[in-house]
Amino acid sequence: MNDYDAKYTEILQRIRLFDVFVIAPSMIYAGTFAVLPMFLRFLLWIFGVATALFNGYNFIKVSKRKSTNE
C-alpha cells in the first residue's frame, strides 16, 4: 500500500467511526423520540442500526487487514 492509499484508508476509517458514534445514534434517537409519522420513525431507527452495523463491521475488517499487512 502506498502513502496515498494509506492516507485515504485512514480518512475513510475516521468517517466510519463518525458514522458509528455520531450519525447512527442520532438516527436511532430521532427514530425513537421524534414526533414524526410512525413509518419515518421506523425507517430512521432501521437505517441507524444498519449504519452502525455496516460501518462498524467495515472498520473492524479494514483494521484487521491493515494490522496483518504491517
- Please give the tally of structural domains in the chain: 1
C-beta separation of 31 from 51 below 8 A: no
Looking at residue 31, its amino acid is: G
Judged against a pLDDT cut of 90, whether residue 44 lies above it is answered with yes
Cα(3)–Cα(42) distance, rounded to whole angstroms? 42
Parent domain of 62: 3-69
49: Cα within 13 Å, side-chain hemisphere:
7
48-58 per-position pLDDT tens digit: 999 999 999 99
* pLDDT score, position 66: 84
Task: Name the pLDDT band for 28 (thresholds 50, 70, 90).
Answer: very high
